[in-house]
Amino acid sequence: MLNVQAITKLYGDRLILDDISFSIQAGEIVGLVGENGAGKSTMLQLLATLSNPTKGNIFLDDLSYQKHKKNIRKQIGFVPQDIALWEEFTVEENMVFFEKLSWKNKTKQQLKQLCLDMELDKWQEPVNTLSGGMKRKLNLAISLIHDPKVLLLDEPTVGIDLKSRKEIGNYLKRQALEYNKIIVYTSHDMDEIITLCDRILCIGEDPFYKNILNETEKNIITF
Amino acid sequence: MKSIIQTRLIHWKKQWLSLLFWLIFPIIASLLIINVTSLIQEDSKIPVGFVLEENTPMAEALLESVKDSPLIRVFEVTENQARDMIERHELDSAFIIKDGYEQQIHRGNRNKLITSYKSDLSFAYTPVSEMVVSYVQEDAGKAKAAHTVMHLAETLKTSEAVTFDEIISLSEEIQSREDLLRTTFSFNHGPSNGNDADITIWNVWGLWAIFSILSTLLLFDWVIKERNSSLVSRFSFIRFSYKSYLLQNLIFYTAVLLFVDSTAALVFHLHVGETINFRLVGAIISFRFICSMAAFLLALLFKNVYLFYGVSFAITLFLAINSGAVLPIEGLTGRFEWLEYLNPLHPFLHQEIWNSWLIILILILGIWFAKGGKLNA
Ligand SMILES: Nc1ncnc2c1ncn2[C@@H]1O[C@H](COP(=O)(O)OP(=O)(O)O)[C@@H](O)[C@H]1O
Ligand SMILES: [Mg+2]
């Protein structure tokens, strides 16, 4: 269980997140919505241990983020908003590169299977020849090499075709259902969020998102 | 470390051509320059013909002395060949060491020992003939001294009879002993006297060091490229801390470069006759550590890789001019002695293994690694 307790985040004098608390159970997919600049990426960075809250603390299964940063990182798969791949490497080389540096050892076959699970079948091709959808899939696959318990995805489906979008969505759903993973992700696609997520967190002041969300039966948390 | 090497090899597979180029660039470039300049030097020497009519040690010693002169290229020819070549202006002048040269010298006779020809365009006849005459004078002088000593011995009727040869060889021994005292040890060319050092301003290790600095700087652009990329966040979720990842790569690069450096020592040994000894090996290792650490730490300061390239070329140029490894600018370094100490080439060319550069860089690297920085967040 991921437990966020009274988080506040300031950038200089600017208040980005103000006293936010929530918790997420294993097997849950939670969507993070809000207007641009609302603080979605900031929230994911905090959950990923990549930045520290100004106030408050976060716990993963009773492990404190403040005290056990290293152990917590081993359980987190973070998919950055920008595509973070070696562009001139092939899919295989990208996977092998990060497997070598990873906490977990995997065979090439296992790595290939990981890609195939999300319909990424271009194993030998250089990244810079791949479609946007393929790149997004690889971006996700690399973050999963060490079998993290928590998956944090920052706009994993932005700017890609509908088919890839569905394939990534289905994959995430399976991860939550079959492997009991905690998944938090942000998106601008409200339809996608509504169909995929068990709960939705709405950050920011903009009433637009809250109004759309009010029309669904999803469990919505607003701040 | 094994996995760091494996990941680095994936990178190198993609850039093997430029990697290979910059690795061997210092060896190739310095050899090329050395060869070209020695060709030019050879071309600008004055061609002088020598005819040896007798093969006595003294005549041959004279020829060797002339050959040693850095400004003259000696052609051993017959008298007829010499005349032909002078007519065709292939020789500036020619000198014939007459039969009986040694004998005449022993007798103390200095006249008509050597005949000479010069071309009508000769511009070096006078200095060359002066030089030849001075060598002959030297031989004649020794002979005269020997005769004087023997004459004295005879008149004083000492019991110890001294032969002519003994006196000559003793005087040569004394001369060479005095020469030894004046011998300056040169890193690059074995024993040579001061005059020679001035003439060969191009020395292979000096050039190699300059080119190595440039290539090392350029090879470390990976530090900037990898830190700039959107991939940095991924390095928070690996087994190593990001700093440890960088440091292990630095170690691997240094090891590979050390291997290439030993290749350089071997190549220079085989092609230019440079000697390999423990001090040289120590100096190379120390120089390699300095270059790698400096390039690494410098690259950490940059965000823009092209700016880094520009600065790398500027630094190399500055060091090349400042060091005297390329241009003799003793005037400048003489006036500003601290310039020499700022120059990382200085300890290498003087074969100082432990020097302030090495120690300061190790300290800075240690501080960088120890302090918990933003990089590690
Ligand atoms: N490192 C930072 N320093 C200062 N301000 C930042 C930093 N990162 C983000 N911000 C600001 O915080 C706000 C929230 O940004 P972000 O979390 O990226 O929003 P979102 O992902 O919801 O679009 C933005 O106004 C942004 O300018
Ligand atoms: Mg964002």
Q: What Å distances lie between residue B196 and B32, B49, B191, B273, CA to CA?
A: 21, 23, 10, 17
SS3 B77: coil
Contacts of B339 (CB under 8 A, 6+ apart): B322, B332, B333
Same domain, B157 and B234: no
Residues B156 and B251 in one domain: no
Query: Where are the domains positioned within chain A?
Result: 27-49+75-222
CA A11, A12, A17, A20 dihedral sign is positive
Same domain, B223 and B356: yes
Helix (H) or strand (E) holding A194: helix A190-196
Nearest CA in chain B to A95: B7
Q: Residue A100 pLDDT > 60, yes or no?
A: yes
Do residues B34 and B93 both lie within one domain?
A: no
Domain boundary residue among B180, B206, B226?
Answer: B180
Enumerate residues 6+ apart whose C-beta is below 8 A from B300. B223, B227, B368
**Are residue B117 and residue B226 in the same domain, yes or no?**
no
pLDDT tens-digit readout, A150-168:
999 999 988 889 899 999 9
User: A217 Cβ partners below 8 Å, 6+ apart?
Assistant: none
Q: How far is B233 from chain A (nearest CA, A)?
A: 7
Which domain, by its residues, includes B215? 2-38+198-370
Q: Does the structural domain A27-49+75-222 have CATH classification 3.40.50.300?
A: yes
Contact, A51 vs A216, CB < 8 A?
no
Inter-residue contact B319 to B343 (CB < 8 Å): yes
Which two three-digit tokens encode residue B17? Answer: 């051509």
Instruction: Supply the pLDDT for residue B294.
Output: 95
Is the predicted pLDDT of residue B176 greater than 80, yes or no?
Answer: no
State whether B257 and B332 are in the same domain: yes
Ligand 1 centroid vs A39 CA: distance in angstroms?
6
The answer, yes or no, to whether residue B297 has pLDDT greater than 60, is: yes
Shared-domain flag, residues B34 and B87:
no
φ, ψ dihedrals at B167, nearest 5°: -65, -45
Asked, for residue B188, whether it belongs to a domain, the answer is no
Give CA–CA dist A199/A188, Å, rounded: 15
The whole-model pTM stands at 0.76
The alpha carbon of A154 and the centre of ligand 2 are apart by a number of angstroms equal to 7
Amino acid identity at B374: K
| End-to-end CA gap in chain A | 21
Same domain, B31 and B143: no
Chain A CB within 8 Å of residue B7 CB? yes
Predicted local distance difference test score (pLDDT) of residue B349: 80
CA distance A138 to A84: 9
User: Each residue of B321-339: pLDDT tens digit?
Assistant: 876 655 555 555 556 666 6
Helix (H, G, I), strand (E, B) or coil at B73: strand
> What CATH number does the domain containing B173 carry?
3.40.190.10
Interface confidence, given as ipTM, is 0.88
All residues of chain A having their beta carbon less than 8 Å from the beta carbon of residue B3 are 100-101
Asked which of B146, B180, B214 is the last residue of a domain, the reply is: B180
